[in-house]
Amino acid sequence: TMRKNFGAKPFLYPQPVMILGTYDENGKANAMNAAWGGIVGANEIIVDLSAHKTTDNIIKNKAFTVGVADLEHLVACDYVGIVSANKEADKMKILAFESSCDETAVAVVEDGRRVLSDAIASQADMHALYGGVVPEIASRKHVEAIAALTDKALADAGVTKRDIDAVAVTYAPGLIGAVLVGLSFAKSVAYALGVPLIPVHHIRGHIAANYLAFPELEPPFLALCMSGGNTLLVDVRDYTDLVLVGATRDDAAGECFDKTARVLGLPYPGGKPMDELAQQSAGGVYDLPRASIEGHPLDMSFSGLKTAVVNLAHNAEQKGEPLDRAALARDFTRAVSDELVPRAMLAARTCGRKTLGAAGGVAANTILRADLMAACAREGVKLYLPPLRLCGDNGAMIGAQGYYEYLAGARADLSLNAYATRDIDDAVVAYRAQVRDIFA
Ligand code: KG4
């Protein structure tokens, strides 16, 4: 072991919290807050330690360092003050809540990558009666489900409330009443447990589903996010440094699937039945429009496509002409794919990314997945397609992103509000500047 005496440095004023660094017998680093320690002279400190991993390490190795927290490492230093290495090796358990649309979801995620539980209560059957999500019903169903679902998530994970180190929650974007339910519940849980509250942007969560599925994936990469309410191209420069590079100007791809499905007499949500129907035909029957926005090659539009399908179906009905529903589903999916896939490749090229991650419910689409695979293979881009289970709304993805937001210092206090819309590079940055826990 290399040893070095750095000597006494009389610069520890005003009284800081001291961090003791040690190694165990295997060279594994450990850090702890020396709460019972302080300055006793111009060049002397005193530290009083009871039984800790740190004490064991000092006895074994007869070596330690003393450091103090600077602003950049405030969060990490807070963390070692809260979590004991005797109890927790180095794991951080986040209880995560998602309620932005018609899924109530609660999950426990460890260190942003390992899903300990992922409880979901879908309301889709209820909304299917109305052919789409009814916001007020969604809010009420979240209220009914969330408490029991939280118990289930904890039980499934084999942990208790005391094991939870932080709470993460979707605060935007989504149906405002629905988001508010999860947010209010998450706030009270964080308050009751005395743990930090981490605000998570829903779409950042969708992107983070990739971290759960692919342990080796790290930023930077280009993300193609396609859900029921949003369609975006995002340059993921770092875990919490995300830049929007393209977006739909009107409807989301998922919304377009759902409305088209309705016209074809398919149940809500229409993505999956459309997917199945499209595979029954080779298509090539219907000529559907492709949109482009002058001067903005990475932006998209789906409303014209939606209207074209609606008009086509209505005209056929009025003229009493038969509609080849499977061919229409196929040609429609091809048109959606033509909007998304070439733009994703262009975005990757423009941003200089060699990795593409897909996200959101529409990423479950069979034809789209095949098209993305082919395009990426052609252009030498590594493609990450999360499994279907992680494509739709879930709590685990919020826990994954929540971990990285936590590491970046994102914290909210009890004044955190819900937002129906919020940019992907917004808000969390503002919270980061505050760097304060709800009990600080
Ligand atoms: O990500 P998600 O579960 O919810 C939002 O955050 O919006 O996405 C739901 C959307 C719905 O529009 C649904 O119809 C669509 O994803 N979807 C699909 C497929 N499975 C779900 N769209 C196309 N093909 C699918 N296989």
Sheet containing strand 18-23, edge to edge, reads: 29-34, 18-23, 65-68
SS3 123: coil
To the nearest whole number, what is the mean pLDDT of the chain? 89
Do 200 and 229 contact (CB within 8 A), yes or no? Answer: no
Ligand 1 atom at minimum distance from 359 CA = 1
Q: Assess whether the C-beta atom of 392 lies below 6 angstroms from ligand 1.
A: yes
Q: Assess whether the C-beta atom of 173 lies below 6 angstroms from ligand 1.
A: no
Q: If you average pLDDT over residues 58-83, what whole number do you get?
A: 78
Range scoring the smallest mean pLDDT among 49-63, 112-126, 226-240, 418-432: 418-432
pLDDT for res 214: 96
Q: Could you give the maximum distance between any two Cα atoms of the chain, in Å? A: 95
Helix (H) or strand (E) holding 269: none
For the cut 70, the answer to whether the pLDDT of residue 1 exceeds it is: no
For the cut 70, the answer to whether the pLDDT of residue 113 exceeds it is: yes
Q: If you average pLDDT over residues 139-167, what whole number do you get?
A: 96
Q: Assess whether the C-beta atom of 364 lies below 6 angstroms from ligand 1.
A: yes
Cα 60 to averaged position of ligand 1 atoms, centre (Å): 55
Q: If you average pLDDT over residues 131-157, what whole number do you get?
A: 95
Q: If you average pLDDT over residues 297-308, what whole number do you get?
A: 95
Nearest CA to ligand 1 atom 24: 365
Distance CA 239, CA 223 (A): 12
pLDDT for res 103: 94
DSSP 220: S
Among 26-35, 52-61, 123-132, 383-392, top mean pLDDT goes to: 383-392
Cα 385 to averaged position of ligand 1 atoms, centre (Å): 14
Cα 253 to averaged position of ligand 1 atoms, centre (Å): 8
pLDDT for res 36: 75
pLDDT for res 317: 92
Do 6 and 66 contact (CB within 8 A), yes or no? Answer: no
Distance CA 137, CA 148 (A): 18
Confidence of residue 436 (pLDDT cuts 50, 70, 90): very low
Do 166 and 402 contact (CB within 8 A), yes or no? Answer: yes
For the cut 90, the answer to whether the pLDDT of residue 352 exceeds it is: yes
Cα 328 to averaged position of ligand 1 atoms, centre (Å): 19
Distance CA 342, CA 338 (A): 6
Residue of 231, 257, 279, 336 with the most ligand 1 atoms within 8 Å of its CB, for mutation: 257
Q: Assess whether the C-beta atom of 37 lies below 6 angstroms from ligand 1.
A: no
Q: Which residue has the tokens 């789409």?
A: 132
pLDDT for res 44: 78
Do 300 and 232 contact (CB within 8 A), yes or no? Answer: no
For the cut 60, the answer to whether the pLDDT of residue 379 exceeds it is: yes
Tokens of 62: 């007869």
pLDDT for res 120: 97
Confidence of residue 12 (pLDDT cuts 50, 70, 90): low
331: nearest Cα among 271, 263, 279:
279
Ligand 1 atom at minimum distance from 254 CA = 12
Ligand 1 atom at minimum distance from 229 CA = 7
pLDDT for res 47: 85
Q: If you average pLDDT over residues 231-253, what whole number do you get?
A: 94
Residue of 100, 127, 204, 362 with the most ligand 1 atoms within 8 Å of its CB, for mutation: 362
Residue of 227, 276, 388 with the most ligand 1 atoms within 8 Å of its CB, for mutation: 227
Contacts of 128 (CB under 8 A, 6+ apart): 267, 268, 269
Per-residue pLDDT of 17-63, as tens digits, reads: 788 899 988 888 888 887 777 777 777 788 888 778 889 999 998 88
Cα 214 to averaged position of ligand 1 atoms, centre (Å): 21
227: nearest Cα among 128, 302, 307, 298:
302
When comparing pLDDT for 396 and 74, which is higher?
A: 396
For the cut 80, the answer to whether the pLDDT of residue 297 exceeds it is: yes
pLDDT for res 117: 97
Q: If you average pLDDT over residues 177-201, what whole number do you get?
A: 96
Per-residue pLDDT of 259-294, as tens digits, reads: 999 999 999 889 999 999 999 999 999 999 999 999
Per-residue pLDDT of 91-104, as tens digits, reads: 899 999 999 999 99
Confidence of residue 437 (pLDDT cuts 50, 70, 90): very low
For the cut 90, the answer to whether the pLDDT of residue 423 exceeds it is: no
Confidence of residue 354 (pLDDT cuts 50, 70, 90): very high
pLDDT for res 15: 63
Contacts of 107 (CB under 8 A, 6+ apart): 95, 96, 98, 115, 116, 117, 118, 119, 153, 394, 395, 396, 398, 399
Cα 393 to averaged position of ligand 1 atoms, centre (Å): 9
Q: Assess whether the C-beta atom of 182 lies below 6 angstroms from ligand 1.
A: no
Q: If you average pLDDT over residues 350-367, what whole number do you get?
A: 96
Q: If you average pLDDT over residues 149-163, what whole number do you get?
A: 96
Q: Assess whether the C-beta atom of 205 lies below 6 angstroms from ligand 1.
A: no
For the cut 70, the answer to whether the pLDDT of residue 433 exceeds it is: no
Confidence of residue 6 (pLDDT cuts 50, 70, 90): low
Cα 257 to averaged position of ligand 1 atoms, centre (Å): 8
Amino acid at 40: V
Cα 167 to averaged position of ligand 1 atoms, centre (Å): 26
For the cut 60, the answer to whether the pLDDT of residue 431 exceeds it is: no
Q: Assess whether the C-beta atom of 348 lies below 6 angstroms from ligand 1.
A: no
For the cut 60, the answer to whether the pLDDT of residue 346 exceeds it is: yes
pTM: 0.79
